[in-house]
Amino acid sequence: MKIILDSNILFSALIKDSKARRIILEYEGFFLFPQYIFEEMEEHIEELLKKSKLPKNEFNTLLAIILKKVMIIPNNVLFPYRNKALDIVKDIDKDDILFVACALAYPNSII
């Protein structure tokens, strides 16, 4: 089974030493991240740095450690699943389309 992490979980793990961070760092397997997370992170990088209260080099080191535990799923792999994902989340949260598309692309996964 693969676990798909959404951006909120990743951001939470980067911001503070939390359960989310410990789970990510201690998990024996790999997580799936849609490539889109990095586009979203780029939009919020200054806010993440400020909230984490970490120097930029420590923040980048933590991010690198977390990235060793993930398989980044390219947007083009998720594209064929966007319409079905939209049907699933349209009444819930359209921002979750790519995470649901990732789950559809990897049937033995959970979000």
- Quote the pLDDT of residue 80: 93
- Quote the pLDDT of residue 15: 93
Q: Using an 8 Å Cβ cutoff, are 1 and 109 in contact?
A: yes
Residue-range domains of the chain with CATH? 2-110 (3.40.50.1010)
- Quote the pLDDT of residue 110: 83
Structure-block tokens of residue 104? 């559809």
- Quote the pLDDT of residue 6: 85
Beta-carbon contacts of 86 under 8 Å, excluding residues fewer than 6 positions away, are 94, 97
Beta strand pairing status for 70-73 and 109-110?
Answer: unpaired
Q: Using an 8 Å Cβ cutoff, are 78 and 34 in contact?
A: yes
Burial of 93 (0-12, 13-18, 19+ CB in 10 A): exposed
User: Going residue by residue through the chain (111 aa), what tens digit of pLDDT does each one get?
Assistant: 789 988 888 899 999 988 989 999 998 888 998 988 888 888 889 999 999 999 999 999 999 999 899 899 998 999 999 989 989 888 887 778 888 999 999 888 888
What predicted TM-score, i.e. pTM, was given to this entire model? 0.81
- Quote the pLDDT of residue 108: 87
